[in-house]
Amino acid sequence: MGRKDDMKAALERRIPADAVPIWELEFHLWNKFSKRHAAFGEEFTKLTNAEQEKAIRTNAEVIFEVSRDLHFSAVTVPCGLWEIAPGQMAYYTLPEDARYRQVQALRKDAPKDFMLVAIVSAVMSIPSASEYVEFSYKLFDAPDEIDQRARDTLRQGLEVAKRFADCGVEAICTASDIADNRGPFFNPEQMKRFILPYLHEWAEKIKAMGLYAILHSDGNVMPVIDEIANSGIDALQAIDPVAGMDMQRTKDAVGGRICLCGNVDCGTLVRGKPEDVFEQTKQLLMSCKDGGGLVLGASNAVQQEVPAENYLAMIQAWEEFGGY
C-alpha cells in the first residue's frame, strides 16, 4: 500500500493502511524545498515557447521531488491564470494550454504514489468585490439571471473537468466559497435554488467520470454542513479555523458521510512559531484521525510567505502522530 492508497481510503471514509494522507489545496513553497527552480505565474508567462516547455519538465521534477520529501499523498496541479489584485497575478497558475501540458508531464512520469487533483470553478460562489453589490441585488431582483449563471458555471466546470480527466487527473476540487466568517452568504432559499442542486449534479457527474469530487469553501459552513454532507461529494476542504470551524465538531456533524481536509490555520503557518504549528497539528491528528476520513493540510493555500521551518513542523507532527 502507498500514499495514494491512503488518500483513496480517506476520500472513501476508510481507515488508511499507513497514515493520514497529506494534501494541500495549493502549495507555493516548491522553491523553498528544492535546489532546482519551478516557474509559475507571471514568471512563466514571460518565458519564450522553448523556455516554457523546459520549465514544464522542470516543474514536474520539482513537484515530484518536494512531494516525495514532504510525504504528500496528492498534489494539486497549477490553476488557471487569475489576479489576486489588479495587475498582480496569482503565483501557482499557468496559462490554460500550459496547464494541461503540465498535467500531462506530471502524469507521464508520475510515481504511482501521488494522486493528481485539479481545481475548477463548477459551483457558483460569493462574487468578487467588483460585482458584489450588483450580484447581491440580482439574487432578489433577477433570480432567473442567477439561475443561468449557476447553469453556465456548472457546464463550464464539467467541460474543464472532462479535459483534466483525459489528461490523467484523478480528483477535481471545485473552489466555491459559499460562506464568510459569519456564515453562508446565501440564505436558505437561495442555497436550495442556486447552490445545492448544482453541487449535487456536479458531484454525480464527476463521479461518473471516475473521479473524486471535492468542494472547497472558506468561511463558516456549519449552518449548511448537513446539506453539504448529503450532496454526494467525497470531501470538503478548508474547515476554516479563522471562521470558527472546528475539525472535531465538523467530523461529528458529518458522521462519516464525507471526508474532511485541511484545518491547519494558515495564519499560524505564516506568523506563528514552529512549536505553535507542531502543537496545532498534533492536536488535530490526535483528536480527529480515528475512523479515517481525514486529510491533513492547511486551511487554504500554503503561501510563499510561510517559513519553511513552520511547514516542516507540521510534517514533523504528522511523522510522530499521523500514523494508524
Grid coordinates given for 304: 510563499
d(CA 296, CA 181) in angstroms, rounded, equals 22
Q: What is the mean pLDDT of residues 122-151?
A: 95
Least Cα distance to 146 among 172, 164, 127, 165 occurs for: 127
Is pLDDT at 85 greater than 80 in this prediction? no
- Determine how β-strand 115-120 pairs with β-strand 171-175: parallel
Q: Contact 160/123 with Cβ under 8 angstroms?
A: no
Grid coordinates given for 193: 435554488
Residue with the bigger pLDDT between 85 and 14: it is 14
pLDDT band at 130 (very low <50, low <70, confident <90, very high): confident
Percent of the chain beyond pLDDT 70? 99
d(CA 155, CA 37) in angstroms, rounded, equals 36
Average pLDDT, the chain: 96
Q: Where are the beta strands (DSSP E) in 91-228?
A: 93-94, 115-120, 171-175, 179-180, 183-184, 212-216
In order of their start, the domains of the chain are 3-321 (3.20.20.210)
Grid coordinates given for 220: 463558516
d(CA 271, CA 193) in angstroms, rounded, equals 40
pLDDT tens digit string along 262-293?
Answer: 999 999 999 999 999 999 999 999 999 999 99
Residues in CB range of 146: below 8 A, 6 or more apart: 124, 135, 138, 139, 194
89-98, 111-120, 175-184, 245-254: range with lowest mean pLDDT: 111-120
CA separation (Å) from 148 to 139, 153, 193? 12, 8, 11
**Beta-carbon-side half-sphere exposure of residue 291 (alpha carbons within 13 Å):** 13
pLDDT tens digit string along 7-38?
Answer: 999 999 999 999 999 999 999 999 999 999 99
d(CA 254, CA 230) in angstroms, rounded, equals 9
Residue 175: what are its φ and ψ, rounded to 5°? -85, 100
pLDDT tens digit string along 197-218?
Answer: 999 999 999 999 999 999 999 9
The dihedral built from the CA positions of residue 174, 109, 37 and 51, taken in this order, carries a sign that is negative
Least Cα distance to 213 among 237, 242, 196 occurs for: 237
Nearest-Å Rg of the Cα atoms of the chain is 19
Residues in CB range of 237: below 8 A, 6 or more apart: 25, 173, 214, 215, 216, 217, 261, 262, 295, 297
- Backbone dihedral region of 13: left (phi > 0), alpha (psi from -120 to 50 degrees) or beta? left
Q: What is the mean pLDDT of residues 120-145?
A: 95
Output the pTM of the full model: 0.96
